[in-house]
Amino acid sequence: MTTTPQRIPAWVWWALELLVVVVLALAARRWQQEGTARGAAPEMAAADLHGAPVRMGAGRPVLLHFMAEWCGVCDLVEASVVSVSSDHEVVVVASRSGAEAAVRAWVEASPLASVRVVPDPDGRLGARWGVHSYPTDFYVDGQGAISMVEVGYTTELGMRARLWWAR
């Protein structure tokens, strides 16, 4: 008497494939966030395009959004950043996007004109925060502590939820 092998149900294969995708996504996320600032927010020591100094921990949560003019994912997130800035404090750091004059011209021609932008032509500010991928978002609470870090695409709802959590 011969027996035929049992077939593994399709749902088991789908569950295994989903598990592999989730594990790979979490590993990629961890790798992207490796070395980013944690705990107390590093000193900004920077001014926005209007010359105003930027401070973290002034009693309100802040979304600190590191991006680059040449970054395609940053373009996809831009509308969400602008929308969130209408009712939350948002500071955009334009890293490796050219000299201040170039950043100013680019910002004035984009929806980011309504958002506070800090030029970071050589990426030194980004390096101080451990940024090596764009966009990178730091959610800083009102006391100046980094509550969350997110690298890559984030929805407007995700940004708002993280700012709510940072309260």
> Is 13 domain-assigned?
no
> Is 129 domain-assigned?
yes
- Closest by alpha carbon to 42, among 24, 64, 60, 27? 64
Is residue 2 predicted with pLDDT exceeding 80?
A: no
> Is 21 domain-assigned?
no
Number of H helices, E strands in the chain: 5, 6
Is residue 7 predicted with pLDDT exceeding 70?
A: yes
Q: Give the CATH number of the domain where residue 118 resides.
A: 3.40.30.10
> Is 17 domain-assigned?
no
> Is 20 domain-assigned?
no
> Is 24 domain-assigned?
no
140, 41 in Cβ contact below 8 A?
yes
Owning domain of residue 49: 39-165
- Look at residue 34 in the predicted model and tell me its pLDDT: 84
- Look at residue 140 in the predicted model and tell me its pLDDT: 95
What confidence tier does 100 reach under pLDDT thresholds 50, 70, 90? Answer: very high
Q: Which residues have CB under 8 Å from 146's CB, separation 6+?
A: 37, 38, 39, 40, 41, 138, 139, 140
What is the pLDDT of the chain when averaged over all its residues?
91
Q: How many residues does the chain have?
A: 167
Distance (Å, whole) CA 142 – CA 63: 11
Listed in order, strand segments (DSSP E) in 39-129 are 39-40, 62-67, 89-95, 116-120
- The per-residue DSSP string of 88-100 comes to SEEEEEEETS--H
Question: Residue 34 gets which letter from DSSP?
Answer: T
> Is 2 domain-assigned?
no
Is residue 1 predicted with pLDDT exceeding 70?
A: no
139, 148 in Cβ contact below 8 A?
yes
What's the structural domain count of the chain?
1
> What is the per-residue pLDDT across 38-80, written as a single tens digit (0 to 9) for each?
889 998 888 999 999 988 877 889 999 999 999 999 999 999 9
What confidence tier does 25 reach under pLDDT thresholds 50, 70, 90? Answer: confident
- Look at residue 37 in the predicted model and tell me its pLDDT: 85
Is residue 129 predicted with pLDDT exceeding 70?
A: yes
Is residue 4 predicted with pLDDT exceeding 80?
A: no
> Is 117 domain-assigned?
yes
Percent of the chain with pLDDT over 90: 70
